[in-house]
Amino acid sequence: MAMARRVVVTGLGVVCPVGNSMDAMWASLRAGKSGLGPVTMFDASRLDSRVAAEVKDFDPETYMPPKTAKRMARFSQFAVAGAVQAWTDAKLEGACDPDRAGVILGNGIGGNEVDCEAHERLLNMGPNRIPAMTIPKMIVNEAAGNISMIYGLRGRIHTVVTACASGTDAIGVALDAIRMGRLDVAVTGGCESAITEYAMGGFCSLKALSTQYNDCPEKASRPFDANRDGFVMGEGAGILILESLEHARARGARIYAELAGYGATGDAYHLTAPQPDGSGAARAISLALADAGMTPADVDYINAHGTSTQINDPTECRAIRLAFGPDADRLMVSSTKSMTGHCIGAAGGIEAIVCVKSIEEGFVPPTINLEQPGEDCDLDLVPKVGRDCPVRAALSTSLGFGGHNGVVLFKRFAE
């Protein structure tokens, strides 16, 4: 059997609550800036949770013609914007075979605002008044489809849906496709926009969202803190360009980092809660390490799923201890969801980019709002202020409803 091809990161693009470009996002994370605020996209007065991490000052026409933008839901617009940034960053125009380039994206909820509008029209005006573009705008695969059409990419065009692990799993699927020789280039990552009364109302019914910080929204996302009370809904897109090392070398591409490993497991335990002892997530971490041919001692930083919920945060700390053993106390672990909120299907893409940038820049972003660690949240959680320090390798962990555990492992590129 031929040796699997090495896979590298050559382009990055992001739209998120703390910035609509790589430079803006990274500056915000370095500064520990919160992207949270009161919900402005709809009247949230009927909800117990009235805080969200919205994307600000986003103009889709910066990235596409007005007519094209109108035919997309907001999550697709974010994905296209991130892809345009990443494609440009990688200098890929005219530099790849479109039959060997694909799009593999993660998304959790799709065009929720489109669905809500169509349902209202159905109830008030009847089925014949549902807008013609409702289905093409709302279904989750359309973001990947739109990107493929913009760049004429005719390789694999897939969408991965594993709830909050969607973006991470999409990156893992893209890694496998390039390793196996099915693609040379993949546009991958995740996207989401579901800050709607319907989606937030549903999460409120599950008692999953923060409700105690409506009057000080920037404090509402507080992963690992003793006073955390739920996650904060975010939105955006994080897009990476992956290439086989051979393809990147042949065209003289700049390489940010190597994507060395991927692990995925299922808890088979509960629809919304993780396995309490963290064993499912721990196995995914161990699989990613084994896939990369690395040991716990090789990793310096984990960008944790860190949602700010009562159950997730201590469970994830237990998982890290199970997988890393004595090395767990040496690791730096932080949750950038303290600043971006939980961007659902986009989270894995955005947080993978944070890992890549941490390796490139030698900086670990903080977990802001961490005043007093909660029970069993006993790792080095980089509270309040980030750290300038070398990062040889970084893990991004994602845990999704349904028991989905996804982990990707990036390392500093070396020939």
Q: What is the pLDDT of residues 136-172, one digit of tens each?
A: 999 999 999 999 999 999 999 999 999 999 999 999 9
Write the pLDDT tens digit of every residue in 292-317. 999 999 999 999 999 999 999 999 99
Q: Which entry of 342, 343, 355, 377 is annotated as an active-site residue?
A: 342
Q: Which entry of 191, 305, 317, 343 is annotated as an active-site residue?
A: 305
Residue span(s) of the chain under CATH 3.40.47.10 come to 8-250, 261-407
| pLDDT for the residue 4 | 82
Judge whether 377 counts as a catalytic residue: no
CA distance 148 to 12: 17
Q: Which entry of 96, 164, 191, 204 is annotated as an active-site residue?
A: 164
Judge whether 404 counts as a catalytic residue: no
CA distance 169 to 147: 19
Tokens of 189: 């990552």
Closest CA to 51 of 40, 71, 35, 37: 37
pLDDT exceeds 80 at position 2: no
Q: Which CATH architecture has domain 8-250?
A: 3-Layer(aba) Sandwich (3.40)
Judge whether 158 counts as a catalytic residue: no
CATH 3.30.200.20 applies to domain 261-407: no
Mean pLDDT of the chain: 97
